[in-house]
Structure 1
Amino acid sequence: MYLTTLSRTQGKLDGLLAAMFEARKRIFVDLLGWNVPVVAERFEVDQFDDPHAVYLIISDKAGKHLGSARLLETERPHILDTLFPELCEGAVPIGPTTREVTRFALDPRQNARQRRRVRDTLVCALADYALANGIEAYTGVAEIAWLQQILAFGWDCEPLGLPRENGATLLGALRIAISPETPNLLARAGIVPELVVAPQPVRYAA
């Protein structure tokens, strides 16, 4: 597996970023039926996909998207504070060391075992990225089934309020505290990454 960290600049939609946005369309629009923007009938891109967003992308050797996640600065508009603040019993957590994890995506063309391997690798990559970049907490919004999985990953994670109905599903918000102990907590819960290499050192798009 290959791990690349990218930011979108100058409106570029090529390479791994294009593969990721195409995968997001297959997952969130075609498979899950979300009512979210689609560009050129191929790419799921919303208002939060701006130059401030950071993407962690897992790919294979040929550059095929396997899984990805988007990180948003919480001092800027993000999903929890803009669209779902009512999911928090208290104030929405924000700050320079807090990021929101959104669009956690596992390519559906993989089988269940492959998706599990990519999921675990991506979760561990999120923890490693946080520790390397001074991030102390992640927040997120998730449908109830995914929320329950996240809470069971073994890390220091807590709901921010009671789940609420959103159409035909329940949505909840959560906060994940990140510390040097987080990788060990994940490992104890069986969340173990595949060996990950980068085509080049983990990089940002120019």
Structure 2
Amino acid sequence: MILVIPHDQADQHTAVLEQAWRLRHRVFVEERGWSDLARPDQREMDAFDTEGATHICVMRGQVLVAYARLLETTRPHLLSDVLSHLCQTRPIPRGPNILEWTRHCVAPDYRGQGFALGQAERELMLAIVEHALENRIEHLTAEAHPVWITRLLRLGFEAEPLCLPTTVAGEPAIGLFISVSDKTLEKTRRVAVRTEAPADAVAMPPAYQLPPAALNA
């Protein structure tokens, strides 16, 4: 099941969002070592969990297994206010038809192997595309591991690097300007309904395997 939770409905889904804050803490603080985000209550929340945030949640029963946050770019967001050095080829993309894709993470037991997307993550990607197109969103921005460019292209996205690869919090990172279209929706739907890894998924050499959650800050 997919839950799309706009900020104005957050109080109706407190139990799910509680799981989201804890999954984010587990992935970004405990696994990836982003100690600046650590909190004693093990709930990762930041200055952008505000009115401009929409939470995309993949559920298995009552359990959250994959999550992403979409931010309005007409408000302060990560690329504009924190990671602006990842946008060097054009002004910071902003507008009512552009969202920032952040805090993408998957629970450990639901991840794919190597470069392949697990089923929960495929459903998450599809939900993001469907939400974007239903709301007339044409573009997404993201801060990601560079190998996400290949992942996105295989799913029918157009992904434009906004800078040369650099390092953020000890990890390779790049800013991305991503276009979403009906082609993206068609291909992502084909991938998301499969229960096995897509045929074009390949295992990357160890040096290039993705960390557990390598899309965005």
For 2:63, the equivalent position in structure 1 comes to: 64
Number of residue-to-residue matches in the alignment: 191
For 1:91, the equivalent position in structure 2 comes to: 91
Distance 1:66 1:194, change over 3 A: farther
Percentage identity across aligned positions?
Answer: 28
1:10 & 1:126 partners in 2: Cα distance? 18
Distance 1:45 1:135, change over 3 A: same
1:110 & 1:35 partners in 2: Cα distance? 24
Gaps of 5+ in 2: 196-217
Q: Deviations over 1:85-136 (max 9, x none)?
A: 1222221111011000000010113353696101111111111101111111
- The within-5 A match list for 1:177-196 is 177-186=179-188, 191-193=191-193
Secondary structure of 1:173 counterpart:
strand
Distance 1:144 1:14, change over 3 A: same
- The within-5 A match list for 1:149-160 is 149-160=151-162
Shift of 1:14: 2.5
Gaps of 5+ in 1: 196-206
Query: What amino acid does structure 2 have at the position aligned with 1:99?
Result: L
TM-score (norm 2): 0.78
Q: Is 2:89 the counterpart of 1:82? A: no
2:29 & 2:136 partners in 1: Cα distance? 33
Q: Deviations over 1:40-96 (max 9, x none)?
A: 5221101111132100100111x1011011000101111111112122222111101
Shift of 1:11: 8.1
2:125 & 2:45 partners in 1: Cα distance? 22
For 1:204, the equivalent position in structure 2 comes to: none
For 2:43, the equivalent position in structure 1 comes to: 43
1:4 & 1:84 partners in 2: Cα distance? 28
Shift of 1:39: 4.4
For 1:200, the equivalent position in structure 2 comes to: none
For 1:27, the equivalent position in structure 2 comes to: 27
Query: What amino acid does structure 2 have at the position aligned with 1:15?
Result: A
TM-score (norm 1): 0.82
Across the aligned residues of Structure 1 and Structure 2, the Cα RMSD in angstroms comes to 2.5
Q: Is 2:140 the counterpart of 1:135? A: no
Tell me which of the two structures has the higher relative contact order, counting C-alpha pairs closer than 8 angstroms and 6 or more residues apart.
1
Query: What amino acid does structure 1 have at the position aligned with 2:130?
Result: D
Greater helix content: 2
1:129 & 1:10 partners in 2: Cα distance? 16
Query: What amino acid does structure 2 have at the position aligned with 1:119?
Result: E
CA contact (8 A) 1:124 1:193 kept: no
